[in-house]
Amino acid sequence: MTASSDTPPARPSETSRARRSAALALAAITTVALAACSPADPGTGSAASGSASAAEIPDTAVGAHAQWVLDEINADEPTAIEEIETRFAPASVAELTAAGLQDVFTQMQAAAPWTPIAYEGADTQARVTIESEQVTYDMSISVTPDDQIGMLLFAPPEPERTPAASWDELREQVEAASFEVSVQVTEAGGDVLQSIGDPGAAPIGSIFKLWVLGAVVAAVADGTMTWEDELTIDAQVRSLPSGELQDLPDGATVTVREAAEKMIAISDNTGTDALIRAVGRESVEAAMAAMGHAEPERNTPFPTTRELFWLLFGDDDLRALWGGAAGDVDARRALLERIPAGVPDLTSAATTQPGWRDGADWFATSDDLVAAQEALQEYAGTEAGAPVRDILAANPGLEFGDEWSYVGFKGGSSVGVLAGSWYLEREGAAPVVVTVLARSDDPQDLTSPGAVLGWAQDAAAILAAP
């Protein structure tokens, strides 16, 4: 749940795949990655490496903005603040400020010229691989319905990885990782088939949204909510991306179902916070316990995404007080009451240290997530939970083989956190839940989602092998 995104390793070749760039993270801080990716030492060269032919950028809504960004990072003069304010959606500028975005462009200019060497995308989202003499980046960009830039992310391309072809190879790769990570494969309703790494509680980022979905089903079941009820977007629920609903004006409405769908498929934080407000914080805490979390007190009180952003990026004293109040529910509830309206200033987000060791995240074991996934599948068999299977399957997060007939997924990320949980079904075998939970004190350890979450693909392939 950073302000970047739940970014999967797959490239966006169509709209649904492009939107997955927002689905692995809880509250993806787009600006964190953007501001952190200052170019390498520009050296003295003045020409692009020419290792690949220039790619054509199409004349689409997003293509036009991508070309503008490319022109600006190749320019000799700083980008005008007025142009940034015109080009970027207000919510995007609020995250890093126009001056902050100007600084990012200036940093990129230091490594110019940049050449686009690959382009994939749809009308409103795209990924452009750009290359200079010193470094190569993937530039991910999206546009809003008002034809403004809603998200801009510069990040290193996903590194090549060698899939593990056996459980022994998978164990060897996981145990050799430079960060803390666990991988678990569990037969639904049955035994743990494989457990690699520390099985203890770990930060999970946006995976917590499974419990919010469970709380919504509970509210529908008891008659206090329907899937078609309308939720109002305002400053009390407007959060940082990932997502789309943060771009709506105050007073705009979305249905419960729409918010739930976006919460899971694109990890929409504003939709999540609107749902938490509608059902009540205590109801989410109750759902977490009802869905099998062994230690729900770890996440009590249950923060919204906006509140967690304040703990991560607000005043340092706020994070220190939160960490110091571990185990004191009343003190932490009082602390959440002190959080101001709106979202924190992310000007210094690029240097923010992971907050999970201070308790600034949501926590679970693999067993807790197995229980949550199983509970939601049970709810899907009820009248109140009828939409749940489709909601969970809207974004698989990763590509799995054709032998898997159903993939339910939720992933999560934050500063120094990357996690994923999958409910997988195939013909002739019991469903399985695969979890990958990674965390590090150094955020740079977890900048390549495919290199970490790809172990879930490997586990599924090993299971399905003849």
Interval 13-49: pLDDT, tens: 322 322 222 222 222 333 332 222 222 222 323 333 3
**Which whole number is the average pLDDT over 431-449?**
92
Look up the CATH number of the domain holding residue 42.
Answer: 3.10.450.280
Q: Where residue 185 sits, what CATH number does that domain have? A: 3.40.710.10
Q: Which residues contact 322 (CB under 8 A, 6 or more apart)?
A: 311, 332, 335, 358, 359, 360
Task: Please tell me which residue, 365 or 91, carries the higher pLDDT value.
Answer: 365
Residue 216 exposure: Cα atoms within 13 Å on the Cβ side = 34
Q: Per-residue pLDDT tens for 373-385?
A: 999 999 999 999 9
User: From CA 311, how far away is CA 431, in angstroms rounded?
Assistant: 37
Segment 312-316 shows an average pLDDT of 88
**pLDDT for the residue numbered 430:** 96
Instruction: Report pLDDT digits (tens) over 158-196.
Output: 778 899 999 999 999 999 999 999 999 999 999 999 999
Report the first-to-last Cα separation within the chain, whole angstroms.
37
- pLDDT tens for 210-230 read 999 999 999 999 999 999 999
Residues 116 and 168 in one domain: no
> What percentage of the chain reaches a pLDDT higher than 70?
88
**Helix, strand, or coil here: 418?**
strand
Same domain, 63 and 199: no
Residue 8 falls inside a structural domain: no
Domain assignment present for residue 11? The answer is no
Number of domains in the chain: 2
Residue 238, burial from CB neighbour count under 10 angstroms (0-12, 13-18, 19+):
buried
The per-residue pLDDT for 96 is 67
Tokens (6 digits) for 334: 């009082």
For residue 194, give the H/E element and its range: strand 192-196
Query: So what's the pLDDT on residue 14?
Result: 28
* pLDDT (0 to 100) of residue 97: 77
Pairing of strands 432-439, 417-426: antiparallel
Query: Of 135, 155, 175, which residue is a domain's last?
Result: 155
Full-model pTM: 0.78
Please indicate, yes or no, if residue 30 is contained in any of the structural domains.
no
Residue 94 is predicted with a pLDDT of 65
Q: Under a CB-based contact definition with an 8 Å cutoff, are residues 2 and 34 in contact?
A: no
**Res. 2: pLDDT tops 90:** no
**Residue 297: domain span:** 162-466
Q: Give the C-alpha separation, 262 to 466, whole Å.
A: 37
pLDDT value at position 52? Answer: 55
> Bridge partners of 182?
437
Final residue belonging to a domain, choices 155, 186, 215: 155
pLDDT at 23: 25
The closest alpha carbon to 183, from 458, 431, 448, belongs to 458
Domain boundary among 120, 155, 190: 155
Average pLDDT, the chain: 86
**Model confidence at 414: pLDDT above 60:** yes
Give pLDDT tens digits for 336-352: 999 998 998 876 676 78
pLDDT at 31: 30
- Strands in 375-449 per DSSP E: 404-414, 417-426, 432-439
pLDDT digits (tens, 9 = 90+) for 117-161: 999 988 888 999 999 988 888 999 999 888 999 888 888 887 788
Average pLDDT over residues 266-295: 97
